[in-house]
Amino acid sequence: MPEGPLTATVTHMSETSTVRVGLLGCGTVGGALVALMREQAGEIAERTGVRLEISRVAVRSASKDRSVTISPAVLTTDPASVVSARDVDVVVELIGGIEPAFDLILDALKEGKPVVTANKELIANLGAELYAAASSSGVDLLFEASTAGAIPLVRVLRESLVGEHVTRVMGIVNGTTNYVLTRMTEAGVSYAEALTEAQNLGFAERDPAADVEGYDAAAKAAIIASIVFGTRVVAGDVYREGITTITADDISYATRLGFVVKLLAIAERSESVDGGPDEVNVRVHPAMVPSDHPLASVRDSFNAVFVEGDACDQMMLYGRGAGGRPTASAVLGDLVDAAINLRQGTHRPFVAPERRRIRTIDDLRTEYCINLDVVDEPGVLASVAGVFGAHGVSIRSMEQLGLQHEARLIFITHTAREADVQATIAGLRSLGAVDSVNSVLRVVGDED
């Protein structure tokens, strides 16, 4: 394992097979990438004939302490100079956020330099613009690390499943919320307690909104939907509910009924009602998943993506969705690809994005678990069931638990339309015998 300053490895490189990398940003992931490249450069060269050399690194402050030692000759505080440098063949963008990352990547692509990025926000919002620039320059834009960290989701969806009619992708793509839900399930703690614990362990930010409100997962859902359905979906197109309203009660009823609660990012193909091209529904919300479903066993801060297709049937990819070294591992896989393609004068095929209609949440069809408290009197169940029936929502199972003068009823429906279920809930709320509708959770993974 070659260690030491980056320049030390240069002497081993054969000029013809060296690909020079310009790195934008050297924080947690960037530092891990530099370390990983030092460890693995020799083996990668043996395996692929390409030796990767980091020739320039743009940082915010040249004097900051870093986890890796980088020669001052390589460091700069001017990222644009890295993009345009003659000794940079491939650009790796690890700054994050929209600007200046967007302009820097665009400039690199326009100069004919392949780009590897881990920037979820940028790809989820302006991916199509960047993709078009890459396509018109005929160079790679690779972004495996933008979604689900080390999990090789983008490559598998784009390449392994290129011949597959994918019907649905369901992912646990946010480690913070999965940790919180795992603790609520396994330790029986409240949402607030689990979140505090996650914050103390560094799994959750002090301001956890991006995670717990589902924004992070929604951006990833947009990227997944774009790749798998060859269509343009941006973060704002994604229906989104977070986990902040999930109670310990919801979790314990789910357990009792044989389910676990997970925050899922779902991209689903739906036949158009008017006979047009297939539509897409893309959404993030907590869901009840059967406890023998592969997603149910994804614990703690791990991520996993479950893919259903006509030919492959079911597939799941599981791994670390975040963290410096796992993310750097995904960046490095892309970087080797970009370097090989550059040397061979090729790139991955570009797909012209198609704008499919995105189905609204009202038209969603799934199963629902509805938990309500009613007055414990004869005839109440009949009137409650009547509300379901009036909106065309068919009941699959019902469990009643007595609580002194009240009863708690837990219904699981057959597949129903979201708008009909919302109308049912409104109807139940206006029924005198219903004291409260405690929760409504979608049920997935149990459809057949």
Strand stretches in 343-405, DSSP E: 365-375, 395-403
Q: Which of 110, 113, 120, 220 is catalytic?
A: 220
The residue (of 68 and 312) whose beta carbon lies closer to its own copies is 312
Residue from 160, 245, 272, 394 binding its own copies (CB under 8 A): 160
In angstroms, rounded to a whole number, what is the distance separating the alpha carbons of residues 395 and 397?
Answer: 6
Q: Are 284 and 263 in contact (CB under 8 A)?
A: yes
Neighbours of 430 (CB within 10 A): 9
Residue from 42, 96, 323, 427 binding its own copies (CB under 8 A): 323
Nearest partner of 296 among 189, 182, 156, judged by Cα: 182
Say whether residue 326 binds its own copies (CB under 8 A).
yes
Neighbours of 5 (CB within 10 A): 15
Say whether residue 292 binds its own copies (CB under 8 A).
yes
Say whether residue 118 binds its own copies (CB under 8 A).
no
Contacting its own copies within 230-259 (CB under 8 A): 230
Say whether residue 36 binds its own copies (CB under 8 A).
yes
In angstroms, rounded to a whole number, what is the distance separating the alpha carbons of residues 181 and 179?
Answer: 6
Q: What angle do CA 267, 271, 276 make, to 5 degrees?
A: 120
The residue (of 248 and 312) whose beta carbon lies closer to its own copies is 312
Number of residues in contact with its own copies, rule: CB under 8 A? 63
Q: Are 358 and 279 in contact (CB under 8 A)?
A: yes
Q: Are 319 and 149 in contact (CB under 8 A)?
A: yes
Strand stretches in 120-209, DSSP E: 141-142, 166-172
Stretch that binds its own copies, among 66-74, 206-214, 326-334, 369-377 (CB under 8 A): 326-334
The residue (of 76 and 291) whose beta carbon lies closer to its own copies is 291
Say whether residue 312 binds its own copies (CB under 8 A).
yes
Say whether residue 290 binds its own copies (CB under 8 A).
no
Show the tokens assigned to 231.
């269509």
Say whether residue 183 binds its own copies (CB under 8 A).
no
Active site (annotated) includes residue 220: yes
In angstroms, rounded to a whole number, what is the distance separating the alpha carbons of residues 71 and 272?
Answer: 57
Say whether residue 313 binds its own copies (CB under 8 A).
yes
3-state secondary structure of 427: helix
The catalytic residues are 220
Binding residues (CB under 8 A) for its own copies: these are 32, 36-37, 39-40, 43-44, 46-50, 144, 150-152, 155-156, 159-165, 230, 292, 294, 296-299, 302, 304, 309-320, 323, 325-326, 328-330, 332-333, 335-337, 340, 344, 346, 349, 351-352
